[in-house]
Structure 1
Amino acid sequence: MTTALIVEDEAINVKVFSKILTKRGGLAVLHTENVEEVMQIAQSGGADIILMDVSLSNSYYQGKPMNGLQITQMLKANPKTAGLPVILVTAHANEGDRENLLEVSHADGYIPKPVVDHQEFLNRILEMIPKS
């Protein structure tokens, strides 16, 4: 089954995204803010796509706070996880944010929050999942 990993610190967003992905998209969903878990899941092939919040308040790696851009950079720098699609899902939605965030993080896609059109949200994610 195709699995999406949600890296998000707001419980309501996790709930909404999970429901859209499972009910409408038929995907399995994992959730963690723990950077070690994100890396382990990604390296083991446990996720087919990652939805990454940019501003994470509870994520630490080796004792240092990390945001979604830094986690994405780590994923993209690792040959084992570089090909795994990462979509930034963020409230940073001002003019120029999309291009800047994609350039800095090397993420594969960008979806602004709040997510209003659930079908469009799902479509954007499904089109980025590699076909086996």
Structure 2
Amino acid sequence: MGVIAMDKKQITLYYSSENSIGKQLNAYVESSGKEHLTIDISKTNVTGTQWAELADGLGKTISELVNTDHPDFKDEYGDKTVNLDDDGWLKILDKKPSLLKNAIVIKGKDFIELTSASDFKQYMDPDSAGIEKPYK
């Protein structure tokens, strides 16, 4: 059993308020009129177990959650490939939450990575491009 609560009636958003997309997504979720829980990783500590569960739910590794193309990452680690273990990647997310590559939404048992604010609208609107599942 996972540590992240999953409720098909609730939207859970993991995001960083240190980037504009995160701020926009939070505004969309807050104004959606749907039951929600928003977790700003810049202000709330996300445990290693939670990060592992988020990565697993997305079918990714923890390293894939980190934006290695971000200027702050490149300033710290350069342009070469960085080989860290999971603990190293977790420390990056903990110390620099702005390096979270994309916001993550959980609805029921579905984990969705959002790359833009419009992704949320498409995900929640059953009449959109068909990338989401309609929820009732």
TM-score, structure 2 length as denominator? 0.37
Question: Could you say which structure has the larger radius of gyration?
Answer: 2
Highest RCO, 1 vs 2 (Cα 8 Å, sep ≥ 6): 2
TM-score, structure 1 length as denominator? 0.38
